[in-house]
């Protein structure tokens, strides 16, 4: 299940996405294109205080809200940050 803050972030960047945004929402169908992908990636990195690993920058990661959340959550959990991420959505 995706976190509400992450769903809010997606909604901010994908106004065509159905509401509520669930794991099954296909991001391309919700208006994600190459330009929006970059904007969304930068927003995620800023919000969660992470840097996306290069191996996750692929179509599979950005297929659905659920696949993108899994990548974000895994990256956040893997980041050693005792002070927390301090991000807006995290």
pLDDT band at 79 (very low <50, low <70, confident <90, very high): low
CA distances from 17 to 25, 35, 65 (A): 8, 16, 10
Spatial CA neighbour of 40 closest among 75, 69, 79:
69
> Tell me: the pLDDT tens digits for 53-72?
999 999 999 999 999 999 99
Q: Average pLDDT in the 2-25 region?
A: 95
The model carries a pTM of 0.85
Residue 83 predicted with pLDDT over 80? no
All domains of the chain in start order, with CATH = 4-78 (1.10.1200.10)
């Amino acid at each position: 299940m995706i976190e509400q803050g992450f769903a809010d972030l997606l909604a901010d960047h994908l106004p065509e996405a159905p509401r509520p945004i669930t794991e099954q929402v296909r991001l391309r169908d919700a208006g994600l294109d190459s330009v929006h992908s970059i904007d969304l990636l930068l927003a995620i990195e800023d919000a969660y205080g992470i840097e996306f690993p290069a191996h996750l920058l692929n179509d599979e990661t950005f297929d659905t809200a659920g696949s993108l959340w899994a990548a974000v959550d895994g990256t956040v959990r893997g980041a050693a940050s005792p002070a927390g991420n301090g991000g807006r959505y995290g």
